[in-house]
Structure 1
Amino acid sequence: MLLITRIIPDAVLARARAEYQTRELRHTGPFDPARLLSNLDGVTAILCNASDRFDAALINALPAAVKVIATYSVGVEHIDLDAAAARGIAIANTPDVLTDATAELALMLMLMAARRAGEGERLLRAGQWPGLTPTFLLGRDVHAKRLGIFGMGRIGRALARMAHGLNMEIHYHNRTRLPAVLEEGAIYHESDADFLGGIDFLSLNAPGGAGTKGWLNAARIAMLRPGAIVVNTGRGSIVDDDALIAALRSGHVAAAGLDVFNNEPALHPDYLTLENAVLMPHIGSATVETRNAMGFLALDGIASALQRFDKDQ
């Protein structure tokens, strides 16, 4: 039996029901571990998402029949992998299929932040557009500017290819330098100061985890050129919220476009007070095509893990 914690797209649910007996919790709010545990009779696989935290205590409380946890996400930070491995529980996730959709959203946030799109729409909806004047809602050009990408993985490289269409010069900072064939002309910077000091836009595309937690802090923000624009579609944990909010208030960071936050969905309330912050509710992969593909890949991962388990018996 497959237990599904959240509401999933119809096409994915139809396939899941065709391939498995399903139990559907249809969570819409905070994850409830107790409710999960009370619904695991006969369950061999769980399909969850990034909002469902499977810590060591929860994993150790799972029945022995549970053999695989699949997550409707690329990231697996919400799952204690060591605890799962100790229990012999396989983990499946959904890499690759959301690359272009997330890169598109990063580009959208760059454009919206640079051109003050959120401010303009709010003025129109409030009936406060005063009419066209030469200084009304002046933003920043994006074309021919320098884009810095922190985390040049699949999504970062997809964003770089899109930004080439705007004649942007691509710079990047990574744990290691990429092979030239993957750089596609992007300029690698080994140090934070060299990287941050020469860019007009900073896109955060690195994974979460201890290695990147709070990476964009006050010290690194100070390295940015005055008036730089920051976009985050990676992980909320990469950003020190207080430091970024202070920089947005001072104008050192001209604008920010954010799709991910610490403590989602309870983002730092001060972001809501900033006109120069474009805020999206973690919708980087939220297209019909991408969410279907993610669900199908998760189901593939479940099937593969269960087949391996059967062969080992």
Structure 2
Amino acid sequence: MGRPVVFIPDKVPEEAVRYLETVAEVDYRAWEELPGEAKFLQGLERADGLLVYSRHKLKGPVLDRAPRLKGVCNIAVGYDNLDLEELTRRGIAATNTPDVLTETTADLAFGLLLAAARRIPEADHYVKSGQWKGWLPSLMLGKDVHGAVLGIIGYGRIGSAIARRANGFGMKVLYSNLERVPRDEAALGIEYAAMEELLGRSDYVLVQVPLTPSTAGFIGEREFSMMKPDAYFINASRGAVVQEEALVKALAEGRIGGAGLDVFEREPLPPDHPFLSMPRVVTLPHMGSATRQTRAAMAMKAAVNMAAILQGKRPENLLNGQVWKQ
């Protein structure tokens, strides 16, 4: 009987590939761009394991083309690209990569807040395009971050890491979550608030929730109408948790002050999207975990999970425990 085959249809750090080669035959395609459907399905046909970024959607019809598949290891903390119910029904283990990207994503989210508040990308373009002719009293006036109120919607690992950064800026942090977090309330001085109160009191509203059926589109016109007219909205979680049309309308009508966005309902943004012509909106290309160190750690964690599955061991980050027989 031959070695199991692991299909990797993405460019990943080489150390993860080398690690998996010790336990399996690795069908590695260092594709930077998304492969066509035919190429992806061809690789799936002989795969016992699949190591992927969340840009690959693993739903029912796709899985029909992978008769040998035993495990899918997402190189991401989010897993809305996986049909967990269908994977479980087929006895296929699924894992993600929590923890290793927490601090890096929190850096990006807080940096996005700073960039939007102080108009940093706009100012950079102003200088580089030759528009800067000298100092003016009202040039590029932004909004203070230190001492402001930050409202965090969804308080998990990343939310907690963002709160620690906000503490360093002397911000008052409110949070709304399914469960209270007494540890951080005591250690960081954060305050639990219902959504309506958080939206009404916050100078910056930051959403950090996973995309699930219950969170899809849960930030919409009603929520934006509760925010202060000079408040900023920050999203570095998933684009589909926000009703984008409602956000565009709130910004266009001046009902909120601005936004910092790393994620969108449709990615990449179409060239005629309203966000691209709004000066008070900072747009990033979904780069929350995009550092060399963190991407390497994510890929290695996924590789370790995959090796465990192929060796008949329960992986550390199993998402569908029902498939594992003790």
TM-score range, shorter chain: over 0.9
Structure 2: how far apart are the matches of 1:84 and 1:47?
15
Aligned to 2:183: 181
Per-residue deviation, 1:46: 0.6
2:208 maps to 1:202: no
Query: Aligned letter for 1:298?
Result: A
What letter is aligned with 1:101? T
Contact 2:205 2:234 in 1 (8 A): yes
Distance 1:241 1:41 in 2: 37
Number of residue equivalences: 310
Match of 1:155 in 2: 158
Distance apart, 1:31 and its partner CA: 5.0
What TM-score results when the alignment is normalised by the length of structure 2? 0.90
Pairing of 1:93-104 with structure 2 (within 5 A): 93-104=96-107
Aligned to 1:250: 253
| Residue-by-residue CA offset, 1:180-230 (whole Å, 9 max, x unaligned) | 11333211113x211100110011111112111112211100000110011
Partner residue of 2:303 out of 279, 299, 302: 299
Unaligned runs of 5+ in 2: 315-323
Considering Cα pairs closer than 8 Å and 6+ residues apart, tell me whether 1 or 2 has the greater RCO: 2
CA distance in 2, matches of 1:66, 1:309: 16
**2:219 is matched with which residue?**
216
Q: 1:19 offset after TM fit, Å?
A: 4.1
| CA distances 1:250-271 after superposition (whole Å, capped 9, x unpaired) | 2222111111111212357111
Residues 1:62 and 2:66 aligned together:
yes
Matched, 1:119 2:118: no
Structure 1, unmatched stretches of 5+, are: none
**Equivalent in the alignment of 1:17:** 21
- The residue that corresponds to 2:320 in the other structure is none
Provide the alpha-carbon RMSD of the alignment.
1.9
Residue 41 of structure 1, CA deviation = 4.9
Residue among 140, 143, 151 paired with 1:140: 143
Match of 1:260 among 256, 260, 263: 263
For residue 182 of structure 1, what is the amino acid of its counterpart?
A: D
Identity of aligned residues (%): 35
Q: For 2:6, which of 2, 21, 38 is the aligned residue? A: 2
| Separation in 1, partners of 2:205, 2:22 | 44
Cα pair 1:232 1:259 within 8 Å, conserved: yes
- The question of whether the paired residues in 2 share the 8 Å contact of 1:33 and 1:58 is answered with no
Q: SS at the partner of 1:43?
A: coil
Verify: 1:77 aligned to 2:80, yes or no: yes
Structure 2 partner of 1:289:
293
Partner of 2:319: none
One-letter amino acid of the structure 2 residue matched with residue 193 of structure 1: E
Cα offset for 1:309?
6.5
